[in-house]
Each structure stands twice: as structure tokens, then as C-alpha cells.
Amino acid sequence: MIKSIIALFLPLLFMQNLFAKEKVIANIPEASGICYSNISDSLFVVNDEGTLYELTTKGKILREKKLGKYDLEAVEVDEENALLLLINEKKDSIIVVDKKSFDIVKKIKIDREYKKIKLLKKGGDGIEGLALYKNKLYASNQSKKMFPKEDSSVIVILDYKLEEKKLKIIDIINPEIKDISGLTFYKDTLYMISDKNSKIISYDIKKSKIIDTKKLSKKYAQEGIAFDTKGNLYIADDNGKILKIKNFIK
């Protein structure tokens, strides 16, 4: 009986401990995507209004630039080429930005179909998350439909080639989760966030399976996630906040 009670309350205690550590470190209107650069030890954030920001890990805004009338939903850093990759959701395209100057370098289209199945819906509910791993781009679709339906909530894998005008889908991951609003890698593990389900899910790329799921607070609109090298978690909240949870990964 005692063991059953302990088992019942352990998840609740974990949630209390996890979110006791959360802290709002910055306020950015409609924050929709975030990534961390280990070279500059800083965060890059985008919002729905087409603005790109650079922040310290403590939340101080270092730079900001309005890039244009874009619906920016995700940002990822290409450390090797000193570039930032931004998702413009309405066009299902990547805006390539110089990391140092914040100038737009080029734009790359993303193919919507894979094996004659239309996985990415044109316009809203398109790509919401982006992560670069071993020269492949992982992009998540926010759709609330499940694979194999058209416009399904899946993660598409793109062959990352800067010289191309359009990136082809070379494979998919179907975690059977709706509304995947953000992606990031920490070491060899893919982390995805579901805004609808208020969960963060870790996925083993090598084993092709989910290895852990943790609940997040439902009071936030989680649109993007990132980890620094210390395992601290950063969340872009669409309600206008940047959250930090220390030592999420120990």
C-alpha cells in the first residue's frame, strides 16, 4: 500500500521540482523559436513578427533585427558556416542569415511531398521546429493529423545542402505525437516538444524510438526548445516569454 502511494505521488513531486527551477529570463513578443550557439555561448530567438534576437543565457538582449514580414517559427545555428537557419512558416522555406551581421544570405525552399504524400501543409500549421544534426535537417510539422494521412504530424529529414534551391525530404520520423512545435538535439538524442500535449519527448536516433517523456506546465505555449552545453533547458513561449530550467539534463 505504501509503495503504491509513493508510486502515485512521485511524478507529481518530479513536476513540482522541475518547475520550481523554471525562470522567466526575457520577454519577447510571440517568441516562436530558439537555439543555442556553443561558439558564442548565446541564444538566438525568432518571433512571429519577423524579428531575430540574440540573448545571453541569462536573458539579456544583445541584438535584435526586424528581417521583414515573415512568420518565423524556428531558428537553428550552423556553427561550421557561421549561419542561422530560420523557418518562414507561410512559405515553408528556410531563410539563411549571416550569424554575425544578421543579413539575409539566401532563401531555400523545402519540398512538401514524400513518396507522393503531402506532409507539409502550405501556409499555417506548417513547419514549426528545426534541428541540424550530422549534416541533416530535421523539421517538424505542427499538424494535428497522424501519419500516414496527408499533412501529418511527422518529422521530416532533409539533406542539408546550402547550394540547393530546394531541399528534398529523404526520410521521416513518425513519433505518433500531434503538434510537434519544437526540436533540438542534445548530444545524440533528439528532443521534441508538443505544445498541445505540454510534453517534452526524447527520441533515440540510433534506436529509432522514444526513450523518455516528461510533462511540461500547461500555462505556457511551448513553441521552441534549446539546450546549452550544461544541460540547461530554454523554452520559447508564444505568450511572450523565454524560460530557463536549470539542470534539466544532469
Q: Flag whether pLDDT at 20 surpasses 50.
A: no
Find the range with the poorest average confidence among 113-122, 145-154, 194-203: 145-154
Q: Above 80 in pLDDT, residue 7?
A: no
Tell me the mean pLDDT in the region 41-69. 97
Q: How many domains does the chain have?
A: 1
For residue 129, tell me if it sits in a domain.
yes
Residue linked to cell 531563410: 95
Residue at 6 is within a domain: no
Greater pLDDT, 89 or 51: 51
Nearest to 37 by CA among 96, 100, 92: 100
Mean pLDDT of 126-136: 91
> Does 9 reside within a domain?
no
Identify whether 41 is part of a domain: yes
The CB density around residue 145, as the number of other CB atoms within 10 Å, is 16
Residue 207: other Cβ atoms inside 10 A: 8
Tell me the average pLDDT of the chain.
86
Which parts of the chain fold into alpha helices (H)?
2-20
Of residues 117 and 145, which shows the higher confidence score? Answer: 117
Q: Give the model confidence (pLDDT) of 113-127 as tens digits.
A: 888 777 766 655 678
pTM: 0.88
* Cα separation, 235 vs 213, whole angstroms: 16
Q: Which three cell numbers stand for residue 217?
A: 506546465
If we measure between CA atoms, which residue out of 28, 62, 82, 40 comes closest to residue 224? 28
**Residue, of 145 and 185, whose pLDDT is higher:** 185
**183 contacts 223 by C-beta, under 8 angstroms:** no
114 or 87, which is more confident: 87
Mean pLDDT in residue range 16-21 = 49
- Indicate if the pLDDT at residue 148 is higher than 80: no
- Domain membership of residue 181 (yes or no) is yes
| % of the chain with per-residue pLDDT over 70 | 85
pLDDT-derived band at 17, boundaries 50, 70, 90 = very low
Task: Specify the CATH number for the domain of residue 170.
Answer: 2.130.10.10
State the residue range of the domain holding 45.
23-245
Mean pLDDT score, 62-74: 95
Does residue 81 belong to any structural domain of this protein? yes
* 152 belongs to a structural domain: yes
Does any domain span residue 17?
no
Inform me whether the pLDDT recorded for 176 exceeds 50. Answer: yes
Query: How much is the pLDDT for 122?
Result: 60
